[in-house]
């Protein structure tokens, strides 16, 4: 018998009525005679028994068609009886209404959460604006202090020059020949010394003329200004690493002496002033997915700038919202943040990753063994440093 290819579109009145009563959509079933492959709404399914043509009549598998339309098929081998039960449309419609109501409630909850997050975002934007203003104010204040100090030094130099002129006019030419720079010595700090406890600097300055100005700096941080050596180094307020200590002294003739020491700050991990931890927020029950948060705090002497945040999943692959852009990068672009500062005594908690797969897994399971790596900038040491941590689940 010649095979005839027939495509069946089963949408007869009984099936369409049952379907529209509880699913609000049409089911399309396609089969080809003698072909074990069929499709339901475009999805391919392999049949146990393909359609066939016997004596000019086309026979199709009733179990497959019935189950595709939502019916329940039973076979009684003893009586060789097939029973097909179509679901109760009224009950299904009621269940559909209940599901829709639950979805509406879930949507309302998500909208409320979105509104809450938007409010927090706006509050964060306001805080960022205030921090920017504070940074500008601090920069202006430091500029003012620097100008005041430069003017003071210029005034002292003028005084020295005036004194030299008077001495020359009075015959004190020998005094004008004093050109030796002050000799600075530190008695309790050596080159390369590692500091793990609070240290109050001690030292001496030798010079033929009076010392009128002394400045002590650790990196970019001013420890002391006066006419003697002083200043305190507290390692618990500094990031572990290498620092440059500089002592400058100027005498009454404008001669400048300088002493530089390279030192090390060595804190135990628990004593580091900048700390990093991770936590999760699980919103899968509300259909909003789950998030990984990075929390970082600053107990250092000055502000710390967050330069970069990198996230790696359990396989070591970098997490990105889009190529080259992480979740925090996206937030910074939306909030137009050029710098992200963490001031003294501040703590910041930021979302850094999310379950973009909608995996349905609990957050503690999905983010297990994910690693957070943050690059910071320390303005005192004038260097970058990195902290890493892993979410253990």
263-271: average pLDDT? 92
What is the average per-residue pLDDT within 103-128?
82
pLDDT of residue 65: 85
Instruction: Report DSSP state, residue 21.
Output: H
Res. 9 pLDDT band, cuts 50 70 90: very low
Judged against a pLDDT cut of 70, whether residue 56 lies above it is answered with yes
CA distances from 209 to 157, 176, 203, 213, 265 (A): 14, 11, 18, 12, 36
Quick one: three-class SS letters along 41-93? CCEEEECCCCCEEECCEEECCHHHHHHHCCCEEEEECCCCEEEEECCCHHHHH
Give me the torsion for CA of 319, 322, 326, 327, rounded to 10°: -100
The residue among 295 and 138 whose pLDDT is bigger is 295
Whether residue 52 is predicted with pLDDT greater than 70 in this model: the reply is yes
Residue 305's SS3 state is strand
Place of tokens 């990753």: 353
**How much of the chain exceeds pLDDT 70, in percent?**
87
Residues 231 and 224: beta-carbon distance below 8 Å: yes
**Predicted pLDDT of residue 288:** 67
pLDDT above 60: residue 174: no
How many Cβ atoms are within 10 Å of 240's Cβ, its own excluded? Answer: 19
How much is the pLDDT for 2? 35
Pick 19 or 367 by higher pLDDT.
367
Task: Please answer whether residues 379 and 307 qualify as being in contact, where contact means their C-beta atoms are separated by less than 8 angstroms.
Answer: no
- Mean per-residue pLDDT for 75-79? 88
| Tens digit of each residue's pLDDT (9 = 90 or more) over 193-220 | 999 999 999 999 999 889 999 999 999 9
Overall pTM surpassing 0.85 (yes/no): no
Q: What are phi and psi of 249, to 5 degrees?
A: -140, 140
10 Å CB burial of residue 66 (0-12, 13-18, 19+) is middle
Average pLDDT of the segment spanning 328-357: 84
Q: Is the pLDDT of residue 8 over 90?
A: no
| 331-335 average pLDDT score | 76
Bridge partners, 69 (sequence order): none
More confident residue, 221 or 143: 221
Tell me the CA distances in angstroms from 278 to 18, 275, 281, 302, one per residue in order: 51, 11, 10, 23
């Amino acid at each position: 018998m010649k095979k005839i290819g027939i495509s069946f579109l089963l949408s007869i009145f009984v099936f369409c009525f049952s379907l529209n009563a509880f699913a609000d959509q049409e089911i399309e079933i396609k089969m080809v005679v003698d072909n074990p492959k069929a499709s339901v709404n475009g999805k391919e399914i392999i049949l146990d028994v393909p359609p066939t043509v016997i004596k000019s009549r086309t026979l199709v598998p009733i179990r497959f068609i019935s189950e595709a339309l939502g019916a329940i098929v039973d076979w009684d081998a003893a009586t060789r009886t097939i029973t097909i039960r179509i679901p109760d449309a009224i009950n299904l419609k009621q269940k559909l209404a209940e599901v829709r109501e639950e979805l509406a409630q879930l949507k309302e909850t998500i909208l409320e959460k979105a509104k809450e997050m938007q409010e927090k975002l706006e509050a964060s934007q306001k805080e960022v604006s205030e921090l920017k203003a504070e940074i500008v104010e601090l920069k202006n204040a430091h500029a003012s202090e620097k100008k005041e100090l430069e003017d003071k030094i210029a005034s002292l130099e003028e005084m020295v020059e005036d004194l030299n002129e008077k001495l020359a006019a009075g015959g004190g030419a020998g005094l004008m020949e004093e050109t030796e720079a002050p000799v600075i010595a530190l008695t309790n700090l050596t080159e390369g010394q590692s500091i793990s406890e609070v240290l109050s600097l001690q030292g001496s300055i030798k010079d033929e003329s009076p010392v009128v100005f002394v400045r002590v700096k650790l990196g970019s941080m001013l420890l002391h200004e006066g006419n003697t050596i002083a200043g305190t180094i507290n390692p618990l307020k500094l990031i572990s690493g290498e620092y440059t200590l500089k002592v400058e002294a100027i005498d009454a003739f404008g001669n400048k002496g300088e002493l530089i020491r390279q030192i090390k700050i060595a804190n135990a991990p628990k004593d580091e002033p900048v700390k990093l931890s991770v936590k999760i927020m699980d919103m899968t029950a509300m259909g909003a997915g789950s998030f990984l948060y990075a929390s970082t705090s600053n107990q250092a002497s000055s502000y710390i700038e967050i330069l970069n945040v990198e996230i790696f999943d359990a396989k070591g692959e970098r997490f990105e919202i889009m190529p080259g852009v992480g979740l925090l990068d996206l937030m910074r672009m939306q909030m137009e943040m050029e710098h992200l500062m963490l001031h003294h005594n501040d703590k910041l908690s930021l979302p850094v990753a999310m379950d973009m797969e909608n995996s349905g897994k609990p957050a503690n399971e999905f983010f297990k063994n994910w690693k957070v790596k943050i690059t910071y900038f320390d303005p005192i040491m004038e260097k970058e440093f990195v902290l890493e941590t892993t979410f253990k689940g």
